[in-house]
Chains A and B, each alone.
Chain A
Amino acid sequence: MHLRTRKIIDRSATGIGILAIVVMTAALVVLLAPIFANGTGAFVFRGTAEFRKYQSDRFDRGDREVLTTEKETLRQVRQPVYDLLHKFEHQLKNDDDLDARFGAEFPKLKREVYRLIGPPPGEALSRLERDEYGATRWDRALVQADSIVHVQEDRGLDSHGFSLKVEGPRAARYKGTSLEPMFGYVEMHLAELLRPQWTFYPQFLIDNPQDANFFGGIGPAVLGTIYLTLGAILFAVPMGVITAIYLVEYAGQGRFISLLRTCISTLAGVPSIVFGLFGLAFFINTIHVSPSKSVLAGSLTLGLLILPTIIRASEEALRAVPLAYKEAALSLGAGQWRTILTVILPAALPGILTGIIISMGRAAGETAPIIFTAAVSVGLGVKPWEVFTSPTQALSWNIYNVSTEHEAVDQIRHVQYGMVLTLVVLVLALNLTAVLLRARITRRLSG
């Protein structure tokens, strides 16, 4: 081959490599940027007076005196809105004509207003917490206010046959009624009605979710993920490392051993949902580790899932230990087990640890294996002594749950993103720990 051709080929290979890296980095940024941008919104946001009230009522947080003063101020600002609503409601009852026009719509409107600024004292619409408080987050409040002030009107079909919806001021519909001034008032005084303030809410990580995640944090899910991950590691690491030691140091080259290796590789490729079903069928239904879903059953299932990874990583790490170390130890009169314990395992530790920590990331993020074995969508944080019997929330499962099965998915975006961010940060932190730990041990080993 000509020197020239060879050079061109070399250069294009380099170019393709760089391109691949750039594309991957870009993809990562595109993925992570919105997660970080929206996820931080769960922790840092403009909280309204309703948020502070809720925190005070439920978690006893905040300066009570300041809150009492604020309450009084708010009452004065909000009273005109309540008054207008009451007045109109009263008119509605006595005027059949008016009732015919607004009788169906008004109760919904009132409900929306209460959801914005909260119901007047003693007049909650239902016993749900979400009906006792107004909008707790300013971003939600803006959307809510908009849905009150504006209305979508159906104008039939357009010339292309699509349904035509026009957004217009709701005040126009109520023109001439006693309620008309309310819309302008809400629009004008929205900030005074809710008094948004920048809020840092780190307790999002530990608070119990309240009223189906409308309020509170994601504490039980974080706790559950930690339990499940640690449980999986506790189960899989001893098994995996011992298996790897057996395969590297003791097992020969027989047919059975190569079959075993193939099995382990195959296990690594089994879809995770199959592990989940296996966990249900074996751990719960067959050997009854717990009467029903539990942290224990979930941990065992996840442990099984990461076992092949740990075995593989440990095997490679053990094989990479220079034979010279082993020879040195044996020549000094160390037995095989002693050699493994004092020389081979310490030298293989960086590789084994990397495998373990990467597996931890995997275990923390897996959803399918815990659906049937551990995860529930509601519940309080599991106490350490309850792990053998109690099911738990978990970030991975709850992300799915609050994003798809929740009754008001679009109202709790901040919770969804907050959970995703927490999980991503957890996994990234684990991987970073792996890198640092590995570097540290490698440095110690190489002098």
Chain B
Amino acid sequence: MASSAVAERPKKMTTSVPTTRPTSRSPETPQTPAVAGEVSHVAAEGFHVLYGGRPAVKSVTMNIPPGRVTAIIGPSGCGKSTFLRAINRMNDLIPGCTVQGRLALDGQDLYVPQLDVVALRRKVGMVFQKPNPFPKSIFDNVAYGPRIHGISSRTHLSEIVEQSLSRAGLWDEVKDRQHDNALRLSGGQQQRLCIARALAVDPEVLLMDEPASALDPRSTARVEELIDELSGQYTIIIVTHNMQQAARVSELTAFFYEGELIEFGPTKEIFTKPRQEKTEAYITGRFG
């Protein structure tokens, strides 16, 4: 099941010019700035997430376009992380968590019983708030994904590891100590390692849950640069507390408040002329 994607990996990875990610299902992806809802990679329709019956995400309808960086902002407890984790079904880990409505990736409903969660998570990578490398070597961390998807050839793995680390901008720093324990890296390096690890399985979508909130400003800047470099190649959805960060890295911004999607549009518009009063109140710092 993994073999076809695996076989075409080297070809894809060596593409020198970053282009909009060629997904077979959306070849008509426009190069003009996307308008929310135009062509969707991830689509939510009246989507609810409930924790033991209490709604955390309420009736969200939004279409996240492919190959762009979409930021989700909002005050704590607004459901933005819950929504993000619904996309790769990480919420399955939480007992009592249920969903209503429809959430789809490339038109495929993610909450039908016959869905292969493992296959979904191959397509949707995730980077967490706190860097969480495994207590293994740098190499083994990056190779973890490819290995579980059936790649065992050492040369092939080294190739993938090098390419993923290069993409995450970490290769030059760690190429001579790939077999050191990943936990010896600095926090910022660890987070970029986690990004490399997520890239190593060649996902289509990259979910980032406040990826820089545990990092110092310098490492944060490095991670933001990286997001910028990766945009266009992956559909990136980033949850952030930091509005400057959202403004800097994203093309589209969604504002969540109390579980509802208040406003979704091009980042520039959201930050300069928001249509909703709540959005304006939030970005001007009147609450949150």
For chain A, give the interface size range: 20 to 34
CB pair A331 B126 closer than 8 Å: yes
CB pair B148 A333 closer than 8 Å: yes
Q: CB of A325 within 8 A of chain B? A: yes
Q: CB of B144 within 8 A of chain A? A: yes
Q: CB of B281 within 8 A of chain A? A: no
Q: CB of B9 within 8 A of chain A? A: no
Q: How far is the CA of A317 from the CA of B149 in the complex (A)?
A: 28
Among B88, B125, B126, B132, the residue within 8 A (CB) of A322 is B132
Q: How close is A267's CB to chain B, nearest CB, in angstroms?
A: 27
Interface residues in B5-46 by Cβ distance below 8 A to A read none
Interface residues in A292-347 by Cβ distance below 8 A to B read 322-335, 338, 342-343, 346-347
B140 — nearest CB in chain A belongs to which residue?
A342
Among A327, A338, A342, A445, the residue within 8 A (CB) of B132 is A327
Q: How close is A382's CB to chain B, nearest CB, in angstroms?
A: 42
Chain A residues within 8 Å of B238, by CB: none
Total A-B residue contacts, Cβ distance less than 8 Å: 76
Q: How far is the CA of A327 from the CA of B194 in the complex (A)?
A: 12
CB pair B128 A342 closer than 8 Å: no
CB pair B121 A327 closer than 8 Å: no
Among B90, B182, B194, B201, the residue within 8 A (CB) of A330 is B90
Q: How far is the CA of A322 from the CA of B145 in the complex (A)?
A: 19
Interface residues in B192-230 by Cβ distance below 8 A to A read 194, 197-198, 201
Q: A444-B181, A445-B135, A447-B182 are in contact. Are A331 and B90 (CB under 8 A)?
A: yes
CB pair A330 B134 closer than 8 Å: no
B181 — nearest CB in chain A belongs to which residue?
A447
B145 — nearest CB in chain A belongs to which residue?
A332
Q: A324-B128, A327-B128, A447-B183 are in contact. Are A332 and B148 (CB under 8 A)?
A: yes
Q: CB of B184 within 8 A of chain A? A: yes
Q: CB of A94 within 8 A of chain B? A: no
Q: CB of B119 within 8 A of chain A? A: yes
Q: CB of A266 within 8 A of chain B? A: no
CB pair A325 B148 closer than 8 Å: no
CB pair B182 A324 closer than 8 Å: no
CB pair B135 A444 closer than 8 Å: yes
Chain B residues within 8 Å of A324, by CB: 128, 130, 132
Chain A residues within 8 Å of B144, by CB: 329, 332, 334, 342
The prevalent SS among residues of A at the interface is helix
Chain A residues within 8 Å of B182, by CB: 447
CB pair B149 A325 closer than 8 Å: no
Which of B126, B148, B181, B197 counts the most A-chain CB atoms under 10 A from its CB? B148
Chain A residues within 8 Å of B148, by CB: 332-334, 338, 342
Q: How close is B23's CB to chain A, nearest CB, in angstroms?
A: 18
Q: Could you give, for residues 106-141 of chain B, a 1 whenever the CB lies within 8 Å of some chain A CB and a 0 otherwise? A: 000000000000110110011010101111100000
Among B90, B122, B184, B198, the residue within 8 A (CB) of A447 is B184
CB pair A447 B135 closer than 8 Å: yes
Q: How far is the CA of A133 from the CA of B132 in the complex (A)?
A: 72
Interface residues in B133-163 by Cβ distance below 8 A to A read 133-136, 144-145, 148-149
Q: A324-B130, A325-B132, A444-B135 are in contact. Are A331 and B198 (CB under 8 A)?
A: yes
Q: CB of A69 within 8 A of chain B? A: no
Q: CB of A286 within 8 A of chain B? A: no
B130 — nearest CB in chain A belongs to which residue?
A324
CB pair B118 A335 closer than 8 Å: yes
Q: How far is the CA of A444 from the CA of B179 in the complex (A)?
A: 12
Q: How far is the CA of A323 from the CA of B130 in the complex (A)?
A: 11
Q: CB of A159 within 8 A of chain B? A: no
Chain B residues within 8 Å of A328, by CB: 128, 132-134, 194, 197
Q: CB of A446 within 8 A of chain B? A: yes
Q: How close is B11's CB to chain A, nearest CB, in angstroms?
A: 21
Q: How close is A349's CB to chain B, nearest CB, in angstroms?
A: 10
Q: Could you give, for residues 126-141 of chain A, a 1 whenever the CB lies within 8 Å of some chain B CB and a 0 otherwise? A: 0000000000000000
Q: How far is the CA of A330 from the CA of B128 in the complex (A)?
A: 12
Chain B residues within 8 Å of A329, by CB: 134, 144
B123 — nearest CB in chain A belongs to which residue?
A333
A324 — nearest CB in chain B belongs to which residue?
B132
Chain B residues within 8 Å of A343, by CB: 134
Q: How far is the CA of A341 from the CA of B126 in the complex (A)?
A: 21
Chain A residues within 8 Å of B130, by CB: 324
CB pair A327 B93 closer than 8 Å: yes
Among B118, B135, B180, the residue within 8 A (CB) of A333 is B118
CB pair B121 A330 closer than 8 Å: yes
Chain B residues within 8 Å of A338, by CB: 148
Show 20 residue pairs from A and B whose CB-CB distance is below 8 angstroms, ordered by the A residue.
A253-B95, A324-B132, A325-B134, A327-B90, A328-B134, A330-B90, A331-B88, A331-B90, A331-B198, A332-B148, A333-B118, A333-B149, A342-B148, A346-B136, A444-B135, A444-B181, A445-B183, A446-B135, A447-B135, A447-B181
Q: A322-B132, A328-B132, A333-B149 are in contact. List 16 more A-B contacts (CB 8 A).
A: A253-B95, A324-B130, A325-B132, A327-B128, A328-B128, A328-B134, A331-B121, A332-B148, A332-B198, A332-B201, A334-B118, A334-B148, A346-B136, A444-B135, A446-B135, A447-B135
